[in-house]
């Protein structure tokens, strides 16, 4: 009887050892996943997680996964969220990824020069975000790329972008040039938004800002086409050229009819435009017009400016484009 019991004990030990070896192999060897995949792990416990991973081909056996999760439970809970798994990922690594919360990072980019309406539409199209877009004030969000995880709210992106703009504007204002004809950071934001809309050439932003600062100092009208377009379209991109009627219509954003800055920003300026508005290039220029190559021709006098306009027209363009300032005007 003792010999039988000893034999059975030995067999049980062998079976246990074999099961342990098999279990360790299942836990540590490469898994069945054939190609990279992103998986949204639900809330609801280990069984729901194991079932999802099996459906997406990350693991082979949900029962083995559940057992491994239970045996290693002291290493922490399994998290819900969106996770990325590489081909042949081992079960041990799957558990580590879920426990460490290595969630997939998504990005939403707010380009420079978008209006509040355009930013709202952009955030509404972001499929990885949830919730409504809060009401946006013009120029309140800093154009930048914002990382997030699936399920984050649109409101959270808005709050981050607003805080980033507050910080960027404060830094630009703190480093502003002396004797600027700007009374507050708000006015700097307004000017930066105009600079942003006037040129897409980074090197020109300080020059453009310098022209507008010179005009403000002299009490001249800014004569900025983008401000007129903004007033006409109410923040929706204008799909036509400005007309003489547009330039003659009186409204608070028509800088051909009002002196000084308009009452608010016309878009969200980026960091470079904020720096240009607060540290403009020292220049004698008072005018600029498109030069036909994507940039602008700058001028100190009206006669010089009119010659630049004439050259523009000689290229077959009857009037300067909506993105340029300084039509032939005093």
Of 107-111, 151-155, 303-307, which range is least confident? 303-307
Q: Is the pLDDT of residue 57 over 90?
A: yes
Cα distances from 287 to residues 36, 220, 280, 297, in angstroms, run: 56, 11, 15, 8
- State pLDDT tens for residues 241-250: 899 999 999 9
* Average pLDDT of span 233-237: 85
Q: How confident is the model at residue 2 (pLDDT cuts 50, 70, 90)?
A: low
Closest CA to 230 of 206, 256, 207: 256
Q: Is the pLDDT of residue 323 over 90?
A: no
Q: Is the pLDDT of residue 59 over 50?
A: yes
Q: How confident is the model at residue 213 (pLDDT cuts 50, 70, 90)?
A: very high
**Residues β-bridged to residue 108:** 146
Q: How confident is the model at residue 295 (pLDDT cuts 50, 70, 90)?
A: confident
pLDDT at residue number 1: 66
- State pLDDT tens for residues 253-294: 999 999 999 999 999 999 999 999 999 999 999 999 887 777
Q: Give the CATH fold of the 30-104 domain.
A: Dna Ligase; domain 1 (3.30.1490)
The token pair at 209 is 């800002």
pLDDT at residue number 205: 95
Identify whether the C-beta of residue 182 lies closer than 8 Å to the C-beta of residue 217.
Answer: no
Task: Give the 3-state secondary structure of residue 62.
Answer: helix
* Average pLDDT of span 29-41: 94
Is residue 19 classed exposed, middle or buried when 0-12, 13-18 and 19+ CB atoms within 10 A define those classes?
Answer: exposed
Identify whether the C-beta of residue 83 lies closer than 8 Å to the C-beta of residue 102.
Answer: yes
pTM of the model: 0.83
- Residue ranges per structural domain of the chain: 30-104, 106-165, 177-314
Q: How confident is the model at residue 10 (pLDDT cuts 50, 70, 90)?
A: very low
Is residue 17 classed exposed, middle or buried when 0-12, 13-18 and 19+ CB atoms within 10 A define those classes?
Answer: exposed
* Average pLDDT of span 2-17: 50
- State pLDDT tens for residues 143-190: 999 999 999 999 999 999 999 999 999 999 999 999 999 999 999 999
Q: Which residues of 29-38 are buried (b: 16+ CB within 10 A; e: fewer)?
A: eebebeeebe
């Amino acid at each position: 009887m003792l010999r039988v019991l000893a034999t059975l004990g030995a067999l049980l030990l062998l079976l246990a050892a074999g099961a342990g070896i098999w279990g360790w192999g299942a836990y540590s060897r490469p898994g069945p996943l054939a190609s990279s995949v992103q998986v949204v792990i639900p809330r609801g416990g280990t069984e729901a997680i194991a079932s999802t991973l099996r459906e997406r081909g990350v693991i082979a056996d949900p029962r083995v996964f559940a057992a491994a999760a239970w045996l290693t439970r002291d290493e922490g809970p399994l998290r819900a969220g969106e996770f990325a798994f590489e081909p042949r990922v081992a079960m041990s690594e799957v558990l580590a990824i879920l426990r460490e919360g290595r969630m997939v990072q998504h990005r939403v980019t707010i380009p420079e020069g978008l209006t509040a309406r355009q930013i709202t539409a952009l955030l509404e199209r972001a499929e990885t975000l949830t919730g409504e877009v809060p009401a946006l004030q013009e120029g309140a969000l800093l154009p930048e790329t914002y990382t997030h995880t699936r399920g984050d709210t649109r409101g959270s992106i808005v709050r981050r972008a607003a805080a980033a703009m507050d910080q960027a504007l404060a830094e630009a204002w703190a480093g502003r040039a002396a004797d600027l004809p700007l009374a507050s950071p708000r006015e700097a934001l307004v000017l930066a938004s105009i600079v942003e809309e006037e040129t897409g050439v980074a090197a020109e932003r300080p020059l453009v800002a310098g022209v507008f600062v010179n005009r403000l100092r002299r009490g001249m009208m800014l004569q900025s086409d983008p401000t007129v377009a903004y007033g006409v379209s109410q923040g929706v991109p204008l799909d036509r050229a400005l007309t003489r009627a547009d330039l003659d219509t009186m409204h608070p954003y028509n800088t051909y009819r009002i002196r000084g800055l308009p009452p608010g920003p016309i878009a969200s300026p980026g960091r470079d435009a904020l720096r240009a508005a607060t540290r403009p290039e020292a220049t004698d220029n008072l005018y600029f017009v498109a030069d036909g190559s994507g940039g602008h021709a700058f001028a100190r006098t009206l006669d010089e400016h009119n010659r630049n306009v004439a050259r523009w027209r000689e290229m077959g363009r009857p009037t300067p484009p909506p993105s340029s300032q300084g039509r032939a005007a005093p």
